[in-house]
Amino acid sequence: MSELRGKYIEAVARAADEAALEEVRLAALGKKGEISAMMATLGKMAPEERKTAGAALNILRDEIDAALRARKAALADAALDARLKSEWLDVTLPGRPRRAGTIHPVSQVMDELTAIFADMGFSVAEGPQVESDWYNFDALNIPPEHPARQEHDTFFMHRAAGDDRPPHVLRTHTSPVQIRAMMDRGAPIRVIAPGRVYRMDMDQTHTPMFHQVEGLAIDRDISMANLKWVLEEFCRAFFEVDKVELRFRASHFPFTEPSAEVDIRYSNVGGQLKIGEGEKWMEILGSGMVHPKVLQAAGVNPDEWQGFAFGMGIDRLAMLKYGIPDLRAFFESDLRWLRHYGFSALDMPDLAAGLSR
């Protein structure tokens, strides 16, 4: 029995791989193995002899089985060590970069101007993009004969034959939001209304859908001087310049009186646009004091309250600040454009610092 034990323990130790180890196991413990054959002869022995021989064979079988398991584990460890030496990985290296999504320039500018006006006490108001004819035109003192109310300028919603409801339109500006805000909150009020607007226009500088922000401030003693200060502070913070010069030109809007187009001083040298310097002027927005009829339509008494309103194109502001040459680029499907002009979701400009200049 001891010779048999030494034979197989030595064979197990000599096994160089798992295949050789399996051959040793089959030779010793397999169905036709030597120890299995000896176990099969126990039935022919006398009881006392069978008891002694059986115990010895069980011990031998367990020892060989333990040796086989230990050798198999040792071979597996050796194989793993060999792989680690040949297939090493430096876990201190940075991970493979994954292209992250970016924020569209229009969304970025919306966030910027919202933060800037919030620092001046303006909250954000919202309204539906499909508006009634009354909110979009009548409440804003736009007469029936005004060109904006014609089908070649405005998207009117389809009406079935016999449908006599007042017409609905895709809003042509966010001014209806001002009416809704005044009707909901009354006066005093200070809001901005950013959002999509729609007009039947399409060329290099116009698209049928674009983005606009309008501002409204109503109180008892508000004047054009307050309007001028708000717009100057906004331009200084948004364009991140220390000096801003605005020019107010008399104009006409049905919903404001007096009304003014607002130009900003700039220069353009070698294709580089710089705000706040130079000899050129560029129109950037419209503004004025809210017309008394607009206040009345919104349920605000014009004998007690007055205020200013302004409106500007968000797409155009993005083009001016970030050097985007063509408005139509905002709607291109080429992702290379957005990767060039897009903004990281983790980048947030220091807008408060801009206002403190």
As annotated, the binding site for Mg(2+) includes 257
Query: Residues annotated in the binding site, as ranges?
Result: 257
DSSP symbol at 91: T
φ/ψ of 33, rounded to 5, equals -70, 165
Which residue from 283, 285, 282, 284 is spatially nearest to 310, judged by alpha carbons? Answer: 285
Q: 351 is written with which tokens? A: 């807008």
Is the separation of the CB atoms in 124 and 185 below 8 Å? no
Q: 302 is written with which tokens? A: 């014009």
DSSP helix/strand/coil, 111? helix
Beta strands in the chain (DSSP E): 123-124, 130-132, 168-170, 189-198, 209-219, 246-253, 256-269, 272-275, 280-290, 306-313
DSSP symbol at 267: E
DSSP symbol at 205: T
The count of C-alpha atoms lying within 13 angstroms of the C-alpha of 64, restricted to the half-sphere facing its C-beta, is 30
